[in-house]
Structure formats: C-alpha cells, structure tokens
Amino acid sequence: QATGSKWLVVGGAGGSAGNTVCPNPANDPGMWCVAMLGQYTAEALGAIKAAGFTGLLFDFEISLSDITVQDTLAVLANTKVAGLAAAVTTSHCAPTGPTGFVQAPGPVGFAIAWGTSADVTFFSPQMYTGGGTYTGCTNAGQTPEDTLAKMSVPIVPSLPSLSDLSTFHSDASTSSFSANAGIAWNSCGAPSNPTNWCGTSWEHAGATCSKPCPDGVDSECETGQQCFASVTTCSD
C-alpha cells in the first residue's frame, strides 16, 4: 500500500512457472509480450478498479522481442482512461536486457519514454539486486544521468527499506534527484508498525519512546540501539 491506497504490481522477473501467454524457456510469469499487454482490456482494468485498487505498477524488466515502445505506452494510457493510475518500475534504472525491451530505441529509450509519459504517475527505479541490499543503477550503460535525468515524472525509488531513502539522497549518482517518497518492498503488504521503537532494550524503548522504527529494522535506530516490536506504551 502507498499512503493508504492500493496498487496492483504486475510483471517482474525471476519466476519459473505460470506464464501461459508469453512462451519463454524459463516460463517466467514476469515475461512481457504483446499478448500479455493485451490482457489489460477495458473490462479487465474495470474489474481491477472495482476491486478497490487505485493504480497499476507495471514492473517492466524482461520481454520478448515483439514489444515496441508504443505498445507499452498504449497500455499505460488505457490504464489511465479506465480511471486507474499507472506507474512503472524496472531494474535498475532501465530494463535488464538483453531480454528486456530490446526493440529500438532499446532499454534506456523505453525507460525514458515511460518517464516522460503524461500517463505515468511516477517512475520507480529498483535500487537493489535481489531485494536485500541497496545498490545503485548498476546495469551497464544505464546510469542515472542516462535515464532518470531525462525524465519528467516524479522519481519514487524502490528500496530494500524506507531507511535507504537517505542513501538515495546521499549517493553521488542520485543525490540531484528529488525523491520525497520511496517504496520499501520488505514491508509490502503491511502498513508501517506504530509499535516499533528504538532502544538499548525492550524496556528502554518503552520507557524513552525516543525514536520510532516503523520498518522494523535496526538501521533506523541510533548507534548502539535496536528496533523492538510491540512497544505499546509509546503508542498510547
């Protein structure tokens, strides 16, 4: 969830079963092709909206070679026409390649097209590999200067933890990009916990209520402190 709204994430990479629409050797359910984009009909998008979703976050990482920029922009536009918000995430600042959106203008060109579309609410570069550790835009030839700097939509980085937003701001390669929000995949599906607090012990956290750690990770706390759960005295 994001600020109380529900977003449906579609696509991705790394799966091994379930894709009956886009034939691929790995049977990866995150694989995109023209037929997969065609699944997002007005009827399907209407059903998603009726289910209470605010928008779709298209995870464009890998694709078959039949997809064009215009194909992806069309599904983003149709999503907006259906009354849903549309956003794009990818790994890291552009599709992974060589199996990701390879038609001209290539992965970087696709990313820039999404990041300059009037139908896109935000672009979310995935600042991690595998989800556990923060990394920058490490794909060859896909630096922030080549991609993010050419975009006009808000940049909302995908992070291992919301505490990594400070790293995004301090990293020399991304410090020039304003990002007042981030997506923390390690807490996806659940809101931040208001009973997580920092301290040297559970008792100390409950007695001082000095600093919350909503994501439940020690890195949110000061040196020498840890994040403790179920500290209900600070939430009263």
The identity of residue 22, as a single letter, is C
- DSSP-derived letter for residue 198 is E
pLDDT of residue 3: 46
Q: Which two tokens stand for residue 45?
A: 């998008």
pLDDT of residue 140: 56
- Measure Cα distances from 31 to 88, 95, 218 in Å: 15, 12, 35
- Span 69-75, average pLDDT: 96
The identity of residue 230, as a single letter, is S
Residue 171 has pLDDT above 50, yes or no: yes
pLDDT of residue 82: 96
C-alpha to C-alpha distance for 117 and 134, rounded to whole angstroms: 27
Q: How confident is the model at residue 119 (pLDDT cuts 50, 70, 90)?
A: very high
Percentage, residues of the chain above pLDDT 90: 34
End-to-end Cα, the chain, rounded Å: 24
Q: Give the pTM.
A: 0.74
